[in-house]
Structure 1
Amino acid sequence: MAKPHHLKRFYLLLFLLYSSGITLYAQKAAFGQIDTADLKLTSCSFEKNASAMVLFNTAKASYTKYDGIDMEVHRRVKVFNEQGTVTANVKLQYYSGGHNEDIKNIQVISLNLVDGKIAITPLDPKLIYVQKVDKTQKQVVFTAPAVKAGSVIDIKYTWHTSLSYNFPSWLFQELIPTRYSEYQAEVKYGYSFNVIKKSTQPFVTDTAYLVKEQRLKRHVYAMSNIPGFKLEAYMGSVEDNLQGVYFKPAQSEMDWNMIGLRLLLTTDFGGQWNLPLKGEKDIINEAKVLKTDEDKIAYIFNTVKNTVRWNETDLAYSEKGIPAAWALHTGNSTEINLMLYRLLMQSGVKPTLLMLGTRDHGEIEFNNPSFDRLNKTVVRVPIDSLQYYVLDASGKYNTYNSTPYDLLGINMLTIDPDKKDFQIVKLKTALPSTEIVLVDASLNPTGKMDGSVQVASSNYKRISKLEVYDKIGEKKYLEAIKDDNNNLQLSDFKFSNLEADTLPLREDFNFKLELTGSDDNYIYFSPNLFTGIGANPFLSESRLADVDFIFPSTYSINGNYKLPVGFKIDALPKSTILSMPDQSVTFKRTTGENNGAVVIHYVIIFRKTKYTRDEYPALRQFFKTMYEMLNEQVVLKKG
């Protein structure tokens, strides 16, 4: 059964390059013809700070004479400033496996006002390139010519598939705003699709009707004034949250069992774990003499993780074969974990596999069996009849006995090659990741604070911190701790327990803080220092994506602030408890005075990991109140 192979790669890459969207414009502007009012536009009326705007997209999808599908696309973009010129760079990605898809009939022009007249600059067809992305994907690449602030980019092309059930779905929403978007889909008699609509705003057109003389059903969908999608804290993949319309075959022979069986038959997946790795006999013999399966699992996991470096690519298959990746000491995540799977099998352990779509790629859907979103493989090993280890040897800080946090809470396909058993499962953890902060500080009469900080991060907090540190480096990491506070200075920063992954990661540093607003008689300070939770991520009144914290967390922040000589407490935040109505998040503050010091203790517990958009208002209100409490000041008075 045909599948819409193009959907994930095609739309998401276009989206990320500000060049996605398959839509129709109600006024049917012809290619190259434009109202000068659009050339004179200086901003988007419904999103003033936008660097560019999609004026319209047009697409008409219909069957060809031989039951293929053509989708004719016409897209027009207005550039407002220099930042918006990136919309000139276009990559149209498509599924090239089996030559089932293609992009053709490409026309590109740029339009500019020069001395009050419209100047048209066409793109030389020789500057349109086709590039190989991987084994199954290609992309058409070009840059619209003569693009600058004020330009309009006009693009036409045809996307084609030879597969009759590969009917294109598409997205209305992009990173930049869209003034008007309409799609016309003509489904001929004999084909049936379920239409799934994802929208957070009303359609201006939403209709379907029969055209008997042409023996087809015509669907027309349109939206106007669509805001640019804003990346939000704690969200999943972009595509999972965009407004769009999706065509799914009403009757499909494809299910997850069939997908699993087909994967086992492919040479670049199911054919890989029978291929020997150079020097593997020594590893296998070493593992076989170990007394327990757990010892074998730990040894082989660490051997693979330390031998092969992840190339930061997630794919559902092996690109060059696992023997070659092993010899080169580098590979994608599936290659590395198929090596792990093979060595475990050869050592007498009985592993199975899990395949998934990562959060940034898009989660697989139980009711939509498809190869499209599968882009990573990990290994599962039974501990007993109820428990499993889930292993991913591609992660630098992953351990064999702790499920990697990026695998939690998303659908996965289990693959048991021996039993030919395939199920959809979702991994969970009830174990919270904790962060304990100890602040020991002194204040002086001139309104300055200095002291030391210890931070202990366990479980997933430990791993995520180390990953961030590796990615951005120490300088930016310390800047993040300072949180844009120019009055704060840090020194003597160091990590401890880096090599002992069973112990909490410890951070130690000293600090000096200039307290603003203080005078000769009063000192003001907020004990919301180094809490680890950062700034409030939920300031927006509305939310486009669901909230995904991934794993439960507990924060314990303890502050001891020694009073300066001659000062006493004038105002102290009250001890209090704040909870979400369902107790999914609680905040507790305990305050007091002890031996001439202000003592403040915060405990914040996140028990629930996912909140829908409908639950967002209550979550936002909780965070608003919690941050107001965190920012309440201590007031010290002289005398």
Structure 2
Amino acid sequence: MRIKFFLLLSITFTTFLFSQKKKGHPFGELLFSEKQLTTYDKDSTANAVVLYERGDNYFEIINGYVRLVKDYHVKIKILNKKGFDNGTISINLYHNNDSRESLKELKAITHNEGIKTILQQNKIYTKDLSERWKETTFTFPNIKEGSILEYKYKQISPYIFNFNGWEFQSNIPKIYSEFNAKIPGNYLYNRVLKGPLSLNTNDASIKKDCFYVDGYPEPADCEVLKYVMKDVPAFNEEEEYMLAASNYISKIEFELSEHRRFDGLNHKYTKSWKDVDKEFRTDKDFGRQLTKKNFFEKNVPTSLLTSEKDSLERAKKIYGFIQNHFTWDGKYSSYGRARVKEAFNSKKGNAWEINMSLINLLNAAGIPSKMMLISTRQSGLPKTTHPVMNDFNYILAKTEIKGETYLLDATNKYMPFGSLPFRALNHYGRVMDFKNESSWKKITPKHGSREAVIGEIKLNPTTKKTNGTLRIVNTGYRGISKHEEKNEINEEEYLNQLEESISDDFVITDYLFDEEKNTPLKTHEILTFELENSFKEKMVYLNPFLVKFFKKNPFLSEERNFPVDFGYKRRYTYMINIEKPLGYMVHELPNNKNIKFGDNYGLLRFSTQQNSNNIALSFDLTLNKTHLEAENYSALKELFKYVTSIQNNSLIIFKKAE
């Protein structure tokens, strides 16, 4: 059978057909421009920069078996001492009981002004990361400021699924990054370019008769690919308020769609949701794990399923039972690793087992509920074009009661009915309906979060101390997390942490956690305090923001090429009444501010008002938009510049009357 290449048109950018000759930088040789580079003018903050990076990926017959081979070569310039961390390299290799990936021809050189220091093979270390992964690591010798670190290796894999693409972006900038591939027509891959950056080179051609397998008379054609990006900016994975970096980092992804064997048999890997729905109905880890109605009817109190006539109250009671029955082991689990009965009996389970138990119990109580597959915020958004089951690492229970939809997660003992933990607020998921077709469902938080501080401050010239009270009210997500914080440590530790978070001079003299006013979504705290060091000779200097919502601006990057994601709406209010110290007059007050952000995206209001005896200060920051595209970043950064400046620099100064 002669295999001719079928060019899969799933990639969204234009492809040109050219022939390609393998070119590159000879290993161990440096260009004059690489030696001369001392700073990177496109990123003055860079501590290191990739000068040149190339990967060649191809299929090869080794010892009678098809193997996926990757040749990798890179040169990194160390610009200053902070860049030394880039001198430690790790390479992960996968294995199972039958086969394993291997690393060959690993070489590394440190270049220092014409002097080459070669990595010794006995300085290369391998260790087990997990049951399926090994890690090979080494550190370049003799690293200095200005060193060029060069290494290469060949990785051989028996897993054709591991041909999964190339990341052009990393934590340091790259001057040149090149990906090459030669793919036999037997293997069809979906592919997509992700991230905000564009390719500088985008070439593809067909090479005839390039792949032979012994025993078959006809060879296969190959697709030859070359993708290049130049002047690639660094991607900072430590940015605040972002979803998983994998959503935004510029890369090209490959996913095996079909394998056309030389013997004429074809195996398709990309399926439709109809195919997945059918598989789930009979799969022991999903379809069967969600049909344990009889087990739960026998193993929970009958009253749990029947005593509440109102369906919503019955659902809440069942939800609370699952929360209290299970202890979450902190694991999400994944496809093929869920055992509901065993987890229920042990009273401990992963997120899949706990929420599957919840779904089973709701169904047993006559409340129709379905499983919703999602990916957590730090695991990336699932693809919507076709099913990729590895995209999902978490499940929720989805139920509809009296015309209202509820998404439920019982892993957290403090999470109220209908609320989802922050990790689950990842925009959308797939509801598995085994009687009908599965469908996408948007994830919308049921509530936001508010932090409110209301207080009084009195300045006593006689004792030279500042006294007052603060009432701190947290609602929504902040209220839930406050309940959790309070129950994880004893009150003494909690108050010590609270004092330290305010200032070294702040001492709590009395404290009340007001249980009568608290709800699962709200906490009330009242504290009495003393504050020293406000009086300075004839002047009193007071920063009225004892509690700071943002001590520093979380948005410091010059620009941001991906969205800001808060997860839920947020509001911060601070209202303080300050009693003027006897014998003193107001010398200086901070300026009022009123800043609107976007089209009702956010609002900042700050004001001070005074009368004969008091000063009333009011601060209100409202963030109405949970997800902001990159074009809004500059305005958001400017807004938070004012937010942090107001909290840190709003001194109220009193002067002693003459």
Short-chain TM bin: 0.7 to 0.9
SS in 1 for 2:544: coil
Counterpart selection for 1:171 from 143, 150, 167:
167
Question: Cα 1:103–1:211, aligned 2, differ >3 Å: closer, same or farther?
Answer: same
Question: Separation in 2 of the partners of 1:71 and 1:471?
Answer: 48
Counterpart selection for 2:55 from 46, 56, 59:
59
Q: 1:28 corresponds to which residue?
A: 25
Question: Cα 1:426–1:523, aligned 2, differ >3 Å: closer, same or farther?
Answer: same
Q: 2:540 corresponds to which residue?
A: 523
Q: 1:330 corresponds to which residue?
A: 348
Q: Does 1:238 align with 2:274?
A: no
The CA deviation string for residues 469-519 of structure 1, in whole angstroms up to 9 with x for no partner, is 778998699657755854545565664449954351123434444567x74
Question: Cα 1:178–1:352, aligned 2, differ >3 Å: closer, same or farther?
Answer: same
Question: Separation in 1 of the partners of 2:186 and 2:336?
Answer: 38
Question: Cα 1:40–1:189, aligned 2, differ >3 Å: closer, same or farther?
Answer: same
The CA deviation string for residues 571-625 of structure 1, in whole angstroms up to 9 with x for no partner, is 3345553212312211223432356221112222211111011111122222223
Q: Contact between 1:434 and 1:458, CA under 8 Å: does it hold in 2?
A: yes
Q: 1:567 corresponds to which residue?
A: 584
Instruction: Pick which of 551-560 and 404-413 moved more.
Output: 404-413
Question: Cα 1:380–1:159, aligned 2, differ >3 Å: closer, same or farther?
Answer: farther
- Which amino acid in the other structure matches residue 235 of structure 1? M
The CA deviation string for residues 525-546 of structure 1, in whole angstroms up to 9 with x for no partner, is 3333314344321233312431
Instruction: Pick which of 358-367 and 477-486 moved more.
Output: 477-486
The CA deviation string for residues 167-186 of structure 1, in whole angstroms up to 9 with x for no partner, is 52221222344454211133
Q: Contact between 1:341 and 1:351, CA under 8 Å: does it hold in 2?
A: yes
C-alpha deviation, 1:47, in angstroms: 6.1
1:60-139 alignment, distance < 5 Å: 60-64=56-60, 69-75=68-74, 84=84, 88=88, 90-92=90-92, 94=94, 103-111=101-109, 118-123=116-121, 128-129=126-127, 132-133=130-131, 138-139=132-133
Q: Does 1:391 align with 2:402?
A: no
Question: Separation in 1 of the partners of 2:635 and 2:557?
Answer: 13
C-alpha deviation, 1:366, in angstroms: 2.0
C-alpha deviation, 1:58, in angstroms: 2.5
- Which amino acid in the other structure matches residue 120 of structure 1? I
Question: Cα 1:544–1:295, aligned 2, differ >3 Å: closer, same or farther?
Answer: same
TM-score, reference length from structure 2: 0.78
Question: Separation in 1 of the partners of 2:639 and 2:139?
Answer: 50
Q: Contact between 1:169 and 1:247, CA under 8 Å: does it hold in 2?
A: yes
Counterpart selection for 1:344 from 358, 362, 375:
362
Question: Separation in 2 of the partners of 1:477 and 1:378?
Answer: 35
- Which amino acid in the other structure matches residue 246 of structure 2? E
Question: Separation in 1 of the partners of 2:639 and 2:176?
Answer: 36
- Which amino acid in the other structure matches residue 90 of structure 2? V
Question: Cα 1:178–1:314, aligned 2, differ >3 Å: closer, same or farther?
Answer: farther
Q: 2:615 corresponds to which residue?
A: 598
Q: 1:18 corresponds to which residue?
A: none
Q: Does 1:207 align with 2:225?
A: no
Counterpart selection for 2:459 from 443, 446, 451:
443
C-alpha deviation, 1:202, in angstroms: 5.7
Q: 1:434 corresponds to which residue?
A: 450
Question: Cα 1:282–1:188, aligned 2, differ >3 Å: closer, same or farther?
Answer: closer
Q: Contact between 1:63 and 1:186, CA under 8 Å: does it hold in 2?
A: yes
Question: Separation in 1 of the partners of 2:468 and 2:402?
Answer: 49
TM-score, reference length from structure 1: 0.80
Question: Separation in 1 of the partners of 2:485 and 2:186?
Answer: 53
Question: Separation in 2 of the partners of 1:612 and 1:561?
Answer: 40
Q: 1:144 corresponds to which residue?
A: 138
Counterpart selection for 1:305 from 323, 331, 344:
323
Q: 1:10 corresponds to which residue?
A: none
Instruction: Pick which of 263-272 and 73-82 moved more.
Output: 73-82
Q: 2:298 corresponds to which residue?
A: 281
Question: Separation in 2 of the partners of 1:552 and 1:58?
Answer: 43
- Which amino acid in the other structure matches residue 158 of structure 1? Q
Structure possessing the higher radius of gyration over alpha carbons: 2
Question: Separation in 2 of the partners of 1:514 and 1:277?
Answer: 66
1:461-500 alignment, distance < 5 Å: 461-466=478-483, 485-490=503-508, 492=510, 495-497=513-515
The CA deviation string for residues 143-200 of structure 1, in whole angstroms up to 9 with x for no partner, is 3267574484735132536548x75222122234445421113345577666533455
Report sequence identity in percent: 21
Q: Contact between 2:551 and 2:644, CA under 8 Å: does it hold in 1?
A: no
C-alpha deviation, 1:522, in angstroms: 3.3
Q: Contact between 2:380 and 2:391, CA under 8 Å: does it hold in 1?
A: yes
Q: Contact between 2:479 and 2:520, CA under 8 Å: does it hold in 1?
A: no
Question: Separation in 1 of the partners of 2:654 and 2:409?
Answer: 52
Question: Cα 1:125–1:284, aligned 2, differ >3 Å: closer, same or farther?
Answer: farther
Question: Cα 1:428–1:225, aligned 2, differ >3 Å: closer, same or farther?
Answer: closer
| Pairs aligned (count) | 604
Question: Cα 1:601–1:131, aligned 2, differ >3 Å: closer, same or farther?
Answer: closer
Q: 1:6 corresponds to which residue?
A: none
C-alpha deviation, 1:116, in angstroms: 8.8
- Which amino acid in the other structure matches residue 422 of structure 1? S
Question: Separation in 2 of the partners of 1:337 and 1:560?
Answer: 47
C-alpha deviation, 1:562, in angstroms: 1.4
The CA deviation string for residues 179-236 of structure 1, in whole angstroms up to 9 with x for no partner, is 5421113345577666533455565x32213245454342322334642524111111
C-alpha deviation, 1:74, in angstroms: 3.5
Question: Cα 1:411–1:344, aligned 2, differ >3 Å: closer, same or farther?
Answer: same
Q: Contact between 1:77 and 1:154, CA under 8 Å: does it hold in 2?
A: no
Counterpart selection for 2:642 from 599, 613, 625:
625
Q: 1:554 corresponds to which residue?
A: 571
SS in 2 for 1:458: strand
Q: Contact between 2:572 and 2:622, CA under 8 Å: does it hold in 1?
A: yes
Q: 1:422 corresponds to which residue?
A: 438
C-alpha deviation, 1:550, in angstroms: 0.9
Question: Separation in 2 of the partners of 1:480 and 1:304?
Answer: 33
Question: Cα 1:383–1:404, aligned 2, differ >3 Å: closer, same or farther?
Answer: farther
Q: Contact between 2:335 and 2:390, CA under 8 Å: does it hold in 1?
A: no
Any gaps of 5 or more consecutive residues in structure 1? 1-24
Please report the RMSD computed on the Cα atoms of aligned residues, expressed in angstroms. 4.2
- Which amino acid in the other structure matches residue 197 of structure 1? L
Q: Contact between 2:517 and 2:524, CA under 8 Å: does it hold in 1?
A: no
The CA deviation string for residues 244-265 of structure 1, in whole angstroms up to 9 with x for no partner, is 1234679985233433443444
Instruction: Pick which of 334-343 and 321-330 moved more.
Output: 321-330
- Which amino acid in the other structure matches residue 323 of structure 1? K
SS in 1 for 2:225: strand
SS in 2 for 1:300: helix
Q: 1:11 corresponds to which residue?
A: none
SS in 2 for 1:421: coil
Question: Cα 1:247–1:143, aligned 2, differ >3 Å: closer, same or farther?
Answer: closer
- Which amino acid in the other structure matches residue 208 of structure 1? D
Question: Separation in 2 of the partners of 1:621 and 1:48?
Answer: 22
SS in 1 for 2:471: strand
C-alpha deviation, 1:381, in angstroms: 1.5
Question: Separation in 1 of the partners of 2:419 and 2:542?
Answer: 40
C-alpha deviation, 1:362, in angstroms: 0.7
Q: 2:154 corresponds to which residue?
A: 157
SS in 1 for 2:343: helix
- Which amino acid in the other structure matches residue 175 of structure 1? N
Q: Contact between 1:308 and 1:326, CA under 8 Å: does it hold in 2?
A: yes
Question: Cα 1:577–1:226, aligned 2, differ >3 Å: closer, same or farther?
Answer: closer
